[in-house]
Amino acid sequence: MVAMWEVLETAERVAGKSQLVEIDQQALIAFSEQIGADDIKVPQWDSFHHYCGSREETAFYLLVLDSINFCFWAPSGKIRWQIEHQPDKLSGYFGLAVALKQAAESGVPITKADYLSRLTIDQLAMILRGKGELPLMKERLENLRELGHVLQAEFGGEALKLVEAAKGSAVTLVRLLAAKLRSFRDVAEFEGHEVFLYKRGQLFAADLYGAFDGKGWGHFHDIDKLTAFADYKLPQVLRHVGIFNYAPSLAGRVDQEIHLEPGSPEEVEIRANTIWAVELIRRELRRVGNKLRAFEVDWILWNLGQNEDFREKPYHRTRTIYY
Protein backbone atom coordinates (compact mmCIF):
# COMPACT_ATOMS: atom_id res chain seq x y z
CA MET A 1 0.00 0.00 0.00
CA VAL A 2 1.40 3.38 -1.01
CA ALA A 3 1.10 6.01 1.69
CA MET A 4 -0.24 9.41 0.72
CA TRP A 5 1.97 12.47 0.95
CA GLU A 6 1.57 16.14 0.17
CA VAL A 7 2.10 15.95 -3.61
CA LEU A 8 -0.52 13.26 -4.11
CA GLU A 9 -2.93 14.71 -1.58
CA THR A 10 -2.95 18.18 -3.11
CA ALA A 11 -3.07 16.81 -6.67
CA GLU A 12 -6.19 14.82 -5.80
CA ARG A 13 -7.77 17.91 -4.29
CA VAL A 14 -7.15 19.97 -7.43
CA ALA A 15 -8.36 17.15 -9.70
CA GLY A 16 -11.60 16.98 -7.75
CA LYS A 17 -12.24 20.69 -8.26
CA SER A 18 -10.95 21.11 -11.80
CA GLN A 19 -13.11 22.98 -14.28
CA LEU A 20 -10.77 22.98 -17.29
CA VAL A 21 -9.16 19.52 -17.25
CA GLU A 22 -11.18 16.31 -17.08
CA ILE A 23 -9.84 12.77 -16.69
CA ASP A 24 -11.73 10.27 -18.85
CA GLN A 25 -11.95 7.13 -16.74
CA GLN A 26 -12.82 4.80 -19.61
CA ALA A 27 -9.90 6.04 -21.69
CA LEU A 28 -7.65 5.64 -18.64
CA ILE A 29 -8.76 2.02 -18.16
CA ALA A 30 -8.29 1.29 -21.87
CA PHE A 31 -4.80 2.78 -21.86
CA SER A 32 -3.87 0.83 -18.74
CA GLU A 33 -5.04 -2.37 -20.45
CA GLN A 34 -2.94 -1.46 -23.48
CA ILE A 35 0.19 -1.14 -21.32
CA GLY A 36 -0.37 -4.70 -20.15
CA ALA A 37 -1.45 -6.10 -23.52
CA ASP A 38 1.50 -4.58 -25.37
CA ASP A 39 3.86 -5.71 -22.61
CA ILE A 40 5.35 -2.20 -22.45
CA LYS A 41 8.53 -2.26 -20.40
CA VAL A 42 9.87 0.36 -18.04
CA PRO A 43 12.73 2.14 -19.87
CA GLN A 44 16.16 1.21 -18.57
CA TRP A 45 18.60 3.84 -17.37
CA ASP A 46 20.13 5.60 -20.37
CA SER A 47 23.88 5.47 -19.84
CA PHE A 48 24.53 6.64 -23.41
CA HIS A 49 23.27 10.19 -22.83
CA HIS A 50 24.24 10.50 -19.14
CA TYR A 51 27.62 10.97 -17.50
CA CYS A 52 28.90 8.15 -15.33
CA GLY A 53 31.98 8.81 -13.22
CA SER A 54 32.69 7.92 -9.62
CA ARG A 55 29.62 7.60 -7.44
CA GLU A 56 30.24 11.10 -6.07
CA GLU A 57 30.64 12.59 -9.55
CA THR A 58 27.61 10.75 -10.90
CA ALA A 59 25.33 11.95 -8.09
CA PHE A 60 26.64 15.51 -8.44
CA TYR A 61 26.16 15.43 -12.22
CA LEU A 62 22.55 14.32 -11.80
CA LEU A 63 21.90 17.10 -9.30
CA VAL A 64 23.36 19.66 -11.72
CA LEU A 65 21.30 18.20 -14.56
CA ASP A 66 18.06 18.28 -12.59
CA SER A 67 18.77 21.80 -11.35
CA ILE A 68 18.53 23.20 -14.89
CA ASN A 69 16.23 20.64 -16.52
CA PHE A 70 13.36 22.88 -17.62
CA CYS A 71 11.77 24.87 -20.43
CA PHE A 72 13.37 23.79 -23.69
CA TRP A 73 10.76 25.08 -26.11
CA ALA A 74 11.85 27.97 -28.29
CA PRO A 75 10.21 31.40 -28.16
CA SER A 76 7.98 32.24 -31.11
CA GLY A 77 10.01 32.82 -34.24
CA LYS A 78 13.21 31.41 -32.72
CA ILE A 79 15.09 28.21 -33.56
CA ARG A 80 14.98 25.52 -30.89
CA TRP A 81 18.29 24.94 -29.10
CA GLN A 82 20.18 21.82 -30.12
CA ILE A 83 23.67 20.39 -29.96
CA GLU A 84 25.71 18.17 -32.26
CA HIS A 85 26.22 14.63 -30.98
CA GLN A 86 27.28 12.37 -33.78
CA PRO A 87 25.48 10.94 -35.58
CA ASP A 88 22.54 12.95 -34.20
CA LYS A 89 21.47 16.44 -33.32
CA LEU A 90 20.00 16.52 -29.83
CA SER A 91 17.63 19.02 -28.26
CA GLY A 92 15.66 19.25 -25.05
CA TYR A 93 16.50 17.02 -22.12
CA PHE A 94 18.80 14.70 -24.08
CA GLY A 95 20.72 17.68 -25.43
CA LEU A 96 21.17 19.06 -21.92
CA ALA A 97 22.24 15.69 -20.49
CA VAL A 98 24.84 15.23 -23.22
CA ALA A 99 26.12 18.82 -23.05
CA LEU A 100 26.80 18.41 -19.32
CA LYS A 101 28.28 14.95 -19.91
CA GLN A 102 30.66 16.33 -22.51
CA ALA A 103 31.66 19.14 -20.18
CA ALA A 104 32.42 16.74 -17.33
CA GLU A 105 34.38 14.40 -19.60
CA SER A 106 36.43 17.28 -20.99
CA GLY A 107 37.50 18.41 -17.54
CA VAL A 108 35.08 21.27 -16.85
CA PRO A 109 34.55 20.96 -13.06
CA ILE A 110 30.74 21.00 -13.10
CA THR A 111 30.75 18.52 -10.20
CA LYS A 112 32.57 20.95 -7.90
CA ALA A 113 30.51 23.21 -5.66
CA ASP A 114 33.13 25.97 -5.65
CA TYR A 115 33.10 26.14 -9.45
CA LEU A 116 29.30 26.30 -9.58
CA SER A 117 29.15 29.03 -6.95
CA ARG A 118 31.38 31.25 -9.13
CA LEU A 119 30.00 30.21 -12.51
CA THR A 120 29.58 33.03 -15.04
CA ILE A 121 27.02 33.37 -17.79
CA ASP A 122 29.81 33.10 -20.38
CA GLN A 123 31.05 29.83 -18.87
CA LEU A 124 27.52 28.42 -18.82
CA ALA A 125 26.97 29.52 -22.42
CA MET A 126 30.15 27.68 -23.41
CA ILE A 127 29.01 24.50 -21.63
CA LEU A 128 25.60 24.68 -23.32
CA ARG A 129 26.80 25.97 -26.65
CA GLY A 130 24.80 24.89 -29.67
CA LYS A 131 22.46 26.22 -32.31
CA GLY A 132 19.27 28.06 -31.54
CA GLU A 133 18.12 29.67 -28.32
CA LEU A 134 17.93 27.97 -24.94
CA PRO A 135 15.54 30.12 -22.88
CA LEU A 136 15.97 31.21 -19.26
CA MET A 137 19.76 31.13 -19.29
CA LYS A 138 19.99 33.70 -16.51
CA GLU A 139 17.70 31.56 -14.35
CA ARG A 140 19.74 28.44 -15.09
CA LEU A 141 22.86 30.29 -13.97
CA GLU A 142 21.14 31.42 -10.76
CA ASN A 143 20.06 27.84 -9.99
CA LEU A 144 23.58 26.48 -10.41
CA ARG A 145 25.18 29.25 -8.37
CA GLU A 146 22.61 28.69 -5.62
CA LEU A 147 23.35 24.96 -5.69
CA GLY A 148 27.08 25.60 -5.37
CA HIS A 149 26.64 28.01 -2.45
CA VAL A 150 24.23 25.73 -0.52
CA LEU A 151 26.38 22.64 -0.99
CA GLN A 152 29.43 24.56 0.25
CA ALA A 153 27.63 26.10 3.21
CA GLU A 154 25.70 23.06 4.45
CA PHE A 155 27.00 19.83 2.90
CA GLY A 156 30.77 20.19 2.70
CA GLY A 157 30.53 20.90 -1.01
CA GLU A 158 29.32 17.35 -1.72
CA ALA A 159 26.09 16.26 -3.39
CA LEU A 160 26.32 12.84 -1.73
CA LYS A 161 26.22 14.43 1.72
CA LEU A 162 22.91 16.01 0.76
CA VAL A 163 21.66 12.59 -0.37
CA GLU A 164 22.95 11.00 2.86
CA ALA A 165 21.00 13.56 4.89
CA ALA A 166 17.78 12.02 3.55
CA LYS A 167 18.65 8.72 5.26
CA GLY A 168 17.36 6.51 2.47
CA SER A 169 14.03 8.30 2.05
CA ALA A 170 13.08 9.65 -1.36
CA VAL A 171 10.35 11.80 0.18
CA THR A 172 12.78 13.28 2.71
CA LEU A 173 15.24 14.02 -0.10
CA VAL A 174 12.55 15.85 -2.09
CA ARG A 175 11.52 17.87 0.95
CA LEU A 176 15.14 18.63 1.79
CA LEU A 177 15.79 19.98 -1.70
CA ALA A 178 12.72 22.19 -1.45
CA ALA A 179 13.72 23.45 1.99
CA LYS A 180 17.34 24.24 1.12
CA LEU A 181 17.10 25.36 -2.52
CA ARG A 182 14.70 27.99 -3.77
CA SER A 183 14.97 26.55 -7.26
CA PHE A 184 13.42 23.26 -6.11
CA ARG A 185 10.53 24.91 -4.24
CA ASP A 186 7.93 23.88 -6.80
CA VAL A 187 4.75 24.87 -4.96
CA ALA A 188 1.68 26.54 -6.47
CA GLU A 189 -1.64 27.77 -5.12
CA PHE A 190 -5.14 26.73 -6.10
CA GLU A 191 -8.29 28.21 -4.59
CA GLY A 192 -6.36 29.46 -1.59
CA HIS A 193 -4.55 26.19 -0.85
CA GLU A 194 -0.95 25.19 -1.51
CA VAL A 195 -0.32 22.60 -4.21
CA PHE A 196 2.94 20.68 -3.90
CA LEU A 197 4.35 19.56 -7.25
CA TYR A 198 8.09 19.11 -6.67
CA LYS A 199 8.79 17.94 -10.23
CA ARG A 200 12.57 18.27 -10.38
CA GLY A 201 13.16 17.19 -6.79
CA GLN A 202 11.26 13.96 -7.35
CA LEU A 203 13.06 13.48 -10.65
CA PHE A 204 16.43 13.69 -8.88
CA ALA A 205 15.44 10.89 -6.51
CA ALA A 206 14.25 8.77 -9.44
CA ASP A 207 17.41 9.52 -11.42
CA LEU A 208 19.57 8.34 -8.52
CA TYR A 209 17.46 5.19 -8.40
CA GLY A 210 17.96 4.66 -12.12
CA ALA A 211 21.66 5.49 -12.30
CA PHE A 212 22.56 3.30 -9.32
CA ASP A 213 20.10 0.53 -10.22
CA GLY A 214 18.15 0.98 -7.02
CA LYS A 215 21.19 0.10 -4.92
CA GLY A 216 23.57 2.01 -2.69
CA TRP A 217 22.99 5.71 -3.21
CA GLY A 218 20.03 4.85 -5.44
CA HIS A 219 18.21 2.81 -2.80
CA PHE A 220 15.22 4.48 -1.17
CA HIS A 221 12.89 2.56 1.12
CA ASP A 222 9.95 4.72 0.02
CA ILE A 223 10.66 5.05 -3.71
CA ASP A 224 7.07 3.93 -4.33
CA LYS A 225 5.82 7.20 -2.84
CA LEU A 226 7.15 9.25 -5.75
CA THR A 227 4.44 10.58 -8.02
CA ALA A 228 4.53 11.58 -11.68
CA PHE A 229 6.88 14.42 -12.54
CA ALA A 230 4.42 17.07 -13.73
CA ASP A 231 5.85 18.67 -16.86
CA TYR A 232 4.56 19.64 -20.32
CA LYS A 233 5.26 16.32 -22.11
CA LEU A 234 3.10 13.98 -20.02
CA PRO A 235 -0.08 16.07 -20.44
CA GLN A 236 0.52 16.04 -24.20
CA VAL A 237 0.59 12.22 -24.17
CA LEU A 238 -2.38 11.93 -21.80
CA ARG A 239 -4.38 14.18 -24.08
CA HIS A 240 -3.33 12.24 -27.17
CA VAL A 241 -4.57 8.91 -25.75
CA GLY A 242 -7.86 10.49 -24.64
CA ILE A 243 -7.28 10.45 -20.88
CA PHE A 244 -7.23 14.25 -20.73
CA ASN A 245 -10.10 16.33 -22.06
CA TYR A 246 -9.56 20.08 -22.02
CA ALA A 247 -12.38 22.62 -21.82
CA PRO A 248 -12.72 24.45 -25.18
CA SER A 249 -11.19 27.63 -23.79
CA LEU A 250 -8.08 25.80 -22.56
CA ALA A 251 -7.83 23.56 -25.63
CA GLY A 252 -7.82 26.66 -27.83
CA ARG A 253 -5.03 28.31 -25.87
CA VAL A 254 -2.88 25.17 -25.85
CA ASP A 255 -3.46 24.42 -29.54
CA GLN A 256 -2.63 28.00 -30.52
CA GLU A 257 0.49 27.84 -28.33
CA ILE A 258 -0.66 30.76 -26.22
CA HIS A 259 1.45 31.16 -23.09
CA LEU A 260 -0.12 29.97 -19.81
CA GLU A 261 1.08 31.90 -16.80
CA PRO A 262 2.94 29.84 -14.19
CA GLY A 263 0.68 29.31 -11.21
CA SER A 264 -2.47 30.16 -13.18
CA PRO A 265 -5.55 27.94 -12.62
CA GLU A 266 -5.12 26.48 -16.12
CA GLU A 267 -1.52 25.52 -15.55
CA VAL A 268 -2.05 24.15 -12.03
CA GLU A 269 -5.00 22.06 -13.19
CA ILE A 270 -2.93 20.53 -15.99
CA ARG A 271 -0.02 19.67 -13.70
CA ALA A 272 -2.07 18.40 -10.76
CA ASN A 273 -4.29 16.28 -13.00
CA THR A 274 -1.16 14.81 -14.58
CA ILE A 275 -0.05 13.57 -11.16
CA TRP A 276 -3.50 12.26 -10.32
CA ALA A 277 -4.04 10.56 -13.71
CA VAL A 278 -0.74 8.69 -13.37
CA GLU A 279 -1.75 7.62 -9.87
CA LEU A 280 -5.06 6.29 -11.25
CA ILE A 281 -3.20 4.42 -13.99
CA ARG A 282 -0.94 2.93 -11.32
CA ARG A 283 -3.98 1.80 -9.32
CA GLU A 284 -5.67 0.31 -12.36
CA LEU A 285 -2.50 -1.60 -13.24
CA ARG A 286 -2.21 -2.81 -9.66
CA ARG A 287 -5.82 -4.05 -9.80
CA VAL A 288 -4.86 -6.49 -12.56
CA GLY A 289 -1.60 -7.55 -10.94
CA ASN A 290 0.86 -5.15 -12.59
CA LYS A 291 2.99 -3.58 -9.86
CA LEU A 292 4.43 -0.63 -11.77
CA ARG A 293 5.10 2.37 -9.55
CA ALA A 294 3.99 5.89 -10.40
CA PHE A 295 7.44 7.10 -11.41
CA GLU A 296 7.78 4.09 -13.73
CA VAL A 297 4.45 4.92 -15.38
CA ASP A 298 5.83 8.44 -15.79
CA TRP A 299 8.94 7.08 -17.52
CA ILE A 300 6.78 5.06 -19.91
CA LEU A 301 4.60 8.07 -20.77
CA TRP A 302 7.57 10.40 -21.20
CA ASN A 303 9.26 7.97 -23.56
CA LEU A 304 6.07 7.60 -25.58
CA GLY A 305 6.09 11.39 -25.84
CA GLN A 306 9.39 11.29 -27.70
CA ASN A 307 7.58 9.53 -30.55
CA GLU A 308 6.14 11.79 -33.25
CA ASP A 309 2.90 9.80 -33.15
CA PHE A 310 2.18 11.32 -29.74
CA ARG A 311 2.82 14.92 -30.81
CA GLU A 312 -0.30 15.47 -32.87
CA LYS A 313 -1.40 18.26 -30.55
CA PRO A 314 0.98 20.81 -28.98
CA TYR A 315 2.04 20.77 -25.36
CA HIS A 316 1.11 23.70 -23.15
CA ARG A 317 3.59 26.57 -23.00
CA THR A 318 4.59 27.98 -19.62
CA ARG A 319 7.81 29.92 -19.04
CA THR A 320 9.03 28.51 -15.72
CA ILE A 321 12.09 27.10 -13.99
CA TYR A 322 10.16 24.17 -12.51
CA TYR A 323 9.70 22.05 -15.65
Of 231, 255, 298, 309, catalytic: 231
Catalytic residue list contains 231: yes
Determine if residue 85 is left, alpha or beta; phi over 0 gives left, psi from -120 to 50 gives alpha, anything else beta: beta
- 3-state SS, the chain, equals CCCCCHHHHHHHHHHHHCCCEEECHHHHHHHHHHHHHCCCCCCCCCCCCCCCCCHHHHHHHHHHHHHCCCCCCCCCCCCECEEEECCEEEEHHHHHHHHHHHHHHCCCCCCCHHHHHCCCHHHHHHHCCCECECCCHHHHHHHHHHHHHHHHHHCCCCHHHHHHHCCCCHHHHHHHHHHHCHHHCCEEEECCEEEECCHHHHHHHHHHHHHCCCCHHHCCCCHHHCCCCCCCHHHHHHHHCCCEEECHHHHHHHHCCCCCCCCCHHHHHHHHHHHHHHHHHHHHHHHCCCCCCHHHHHHHHHHHCCCHHHCCCCCCCCCCCCC
Which residues are known catalytic residues? 231
